[in-house]
Amino acid sequence: MALNVSRPEVQFAMETVRMAAQVAWEVERELVDHTITKSDKSPVTVADFASQALVGCLLEKTFPNDPLVAEEDSAHLKEESAAQNLGNVVRFVGRHLAYATPQTVCAWIDHGGQSPAKRFWTLDPIDGTKGFLRGDQYAVALALIVDGQVEVGVLGCPNLSNGYRPNHDGPGSLVVAVRGEGTWTQPLAEEGPLTRLRVSNIRNGVEARLLRSVDAGHTNAGRVAQLVETLGVRAEPVLMDSQAKYSVMAAGHGDLLFRLLTKAQPDYREKIWDHAAGSLVIQEAGGRVTDLMGKDLDFTQGRTLANNVGILASNGQLHETALKALAAVFQEQA
């Protein structure tokens, strides 16, 4: 089976993510200490806005009727105190789109504020902002959703080589999944041969490798520890930010990923852009992604996975075992 890269949607997604990830890489190298703070205190960098502006502009030109549902908006950049930040965004975008101005850049960013439709794209312009600020793992994540189903998912991972190996000074990885056509990777820095990715064949929890976020605040550490004990996992967890974890699992270098509810946010529902691209990357590599109850992810409910609780991703072989472990842990703590 080969990937049909000539399909317009696939070609667009690959080229756009490659360009957006290149901008992110440039900002990381030149401006990584210049951060913006949202009202919720999470760091946002110039790269978020520059990446989203590029995607918004290119989507508007290529598929003008397709909405974009994305994480950021330009409200902060329009504040008088943000003039320098806006200038930096325009400067980095302008390296790739010479006609960028403060007005056009803000309009392109806000193109991502649209509502989901029968067919739409969803974007996380920089998934793993804290990893980005550390010079660690982050990803540009873009997905096409049609009738509630992810059809194309692309990840741009500047600090990941061969789809799984952390490498800050390497060629990066472009990871692309197309429904029915598998998951593939090629160097991000320049087009090269496509390599098929496949999940591991590990069937025993004792041999499983758990993928976890570096920031423990993204999950319930206590319950994760109980799950590790219940499953008998012996290996040290693979700590990594962003949907780069999904690429690592797709490449067979990780086997389980839990996104549990935290005690601070028991009613939290995941954002669609945090999982759309990555979920297809795993599925097309032979793995499985559901919520913590085993339900398929429902991308028909707007900007969040309102009908799902948490995330469980696996190589497929371990999924039912993991669901049983989750049920046992939840029952103990009920």
- The C-alpha atoms of residue 222 and residue 49 are separated, in whole angstroms, by 35
> CB–CB of 214/188 below 8 Å?
no
The residue from 16, 48, 219, 290 that is catalytic is 48
Contact assessment for residue 171 and residue 161, using Cβ atoms and an 8 Å cutoff: yes
Half-sphere CA count of 258, side-chain side, radius 13 A: 29
The DSSP-derived string for 228-290 is: HHHHT--SPPEE--STHHHHHHHTTS--EEEEPPPSS-TT---BGGGTHHHHHHHHHTT-EEE
CB 99 within 8 A of CB 107: no
Q: Is 48 a catalytic residue?
A: yes
Strands (E) in 91-235, as ranges, are 119-127, 139-146, 149-157, 160-161, 165-166, 173-178, 182-187, 195-197, 210-212
Query: Cα(112)–Cα(16) distance, rounded to whole angstroms?
Result: 14
From CA 240, how far away is CA 213, in angstroms rounded? 5
Give the integer Cα–Cα distance in Å for 205 and 266: 27
| List 129, 183, 219, 321, catalytic entry | 129
Report helix, strand or coil for 24.
helix
**230 has catalytic annotation:** no
Parallel/antiparallel/unpaired status of strands 256-259 and 210-212: parallel
Q: What are phi and psi of 173, to 5 degrees?
A: -135, 130
What's the CA gap between 77 and 89, in Å, rounded?
9
Provide the annotated active-site residues.
48, 129
